[in-house]
């Protein structure tokens, strides 16, 4: 049953919902990770609605909560440098590869950088993707400074005139200050070589409201410019993404819907809302 079915049924009919009904609807909406602020805004509007246009009214309300910022990769420099960040296991490395595949398919030249130097396996994982996609991967020795790998990759991308450089970073918990400070350093070192086009934060759609805390803290550390929302192929509806867009005005730029290179697409607000309202 769609997330908003009960709500729609209540406002569509002529009968007025009881306060018991409204609190049940509220609980249901809260369970979808939309977050308390957005849920109470929605309920306030819904209580004033009547009639068959309820669905389009709710769609309009939700749409108005989405960011108005551009959703394409913002770039003006000869090499568009994209840094990919996020907590452990959200799908960063896979998304780096998928984004490379997406851009490569468009005919653009792409270089990848394995700046997750904590684990040799992380470099191998990206290298395997690079081989599969026919995209070069810059890496350092195991235990190398992530900032130095990132800096070398910027130099290489500028020399090669790559249109895009996508830099993978190690997963880190947003509440670990030293790791967040290290990420800030990687960013500053990259910017010594070239301006950053984007800092993309990867959010796992199944993480719930914690995603909002992740987005806040990563933004403070590295000025996140966009989101990649992964694992939307599962049961998660990704309500948290709406909460992030509304609260922090960070646009979702891409979505991940599986483990394959093609399970990736630019974010389309209308089909996302279709999914929430289905």
Residues of this chain that interact with ligand GTP (CB under 6 A) are: 86, 88-94, 116, 122, 171, 202, 230-231, 233, 256-259, 263
Does the protein bind Mg ion through residue 92 (CB under 5 A)?
yes
Q: Measured from the CB atom, is 15 or 121 closer to ligand GTP?
A: 121
- Dihedral angle of Cα 141, 120, 104, 154, to the nearest 10 degrees: -30
Q: Measured from the CB atom, is 92 or 246 closer to Mg ion?
A: 92
Minimum distance of Mg ion from residue 105's CB (angstroms) = 22
207 binding partner (options ligand GTP, Mg ion, none; Cβ < 5 to 8 Å by kind): none
List Cβ<8 Å contacts ≥24 apart for 65-68. Answer: 65/38, 65/41, 65/242, 65/245, 65/246, 66/242, 66/245, 66/246, 66/251, 66/269, 67/245, 67/249, 67/250, 67/251, 67/252
- 54 in Cβ contact with 12 (< 8 Å): yes
Minimum distance of Mg ion from residue 140's CB (angstroms) = 15
Site for Mg ion in 201-240 (CB under 5 A): none
Q: Measured from the CB atom, is 92 or 174 closer to Mg ion?
A: 92
233 binding partner (options ligand GTP, Mg ion, none; Cβ < 5 to 8 Å by kind): ligand GTP
Q: Measured from the CB atom, is 88 or 177 closer to ligand GTP?
A: 88
The tally of CA atoms less than 13 A away on the side-chain side of residue 74 is 17
45 binding partner (options ligand GTP, Mg ion, none; Cβ < 5 to 8 Å by kind): none
CA distance 15 to 12: 9
């Amino acid at each position: 049953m769609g997330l908003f079915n009960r709500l729609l049924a209540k406002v569509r009919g002529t009968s007025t919902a009881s306060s018991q009904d409204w609190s049940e609807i509220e609980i249901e909406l809260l369970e979808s990770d939309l977050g308390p602020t957005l849920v109470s805004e929605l309920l306030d509007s819904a209580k004033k609605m009547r009639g068959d246009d309820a669905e389009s009214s709710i769609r309009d309300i939700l749409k108005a909560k989405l960011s108005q910022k551009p959703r394409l990769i913002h770039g003006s420099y000869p090499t568009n440098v994209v840094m990919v960040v996020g907590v452990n296991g959200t799908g960063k490395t896979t998304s780096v590869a998928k984004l490379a595949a997406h851009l490569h398919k468009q005919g653009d030249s792409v270089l990848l950088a394995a700046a997750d130097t904590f684990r040799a396996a992380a470099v191998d994982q990206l290298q395997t993707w690079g081989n599969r996609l026919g995209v070069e991967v810059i890496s350092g020795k195991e235990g190398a400074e992530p900032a130095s790998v990132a800096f070398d990759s910027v130099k290489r991308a500028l020399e090669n005139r790559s249109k895009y450089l996508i830099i993978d970073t190690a997963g880190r918990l947003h509440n670990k200050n030293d790791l967040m400070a290290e990420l800030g350093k990687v960013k500053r070192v990259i910017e010594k070589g070239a301006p950053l086009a984007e800092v993309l934060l990867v959010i796992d759609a199944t993480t719930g409201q914690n995603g909002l805390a992740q987005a806040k803290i990563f933004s403070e550390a590295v000025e996140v410019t966009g989101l990649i929302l992964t694992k939307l192929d599962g049961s998660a509806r990704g309500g948290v993404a709406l909460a992030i867009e509304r609260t922090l005005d960070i646009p979702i730029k891409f979505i991940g819907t599986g483990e394959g290179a093609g399970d990736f697409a630019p974010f389309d607000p209308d089909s996302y809302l279709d999914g929430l309202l289905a």
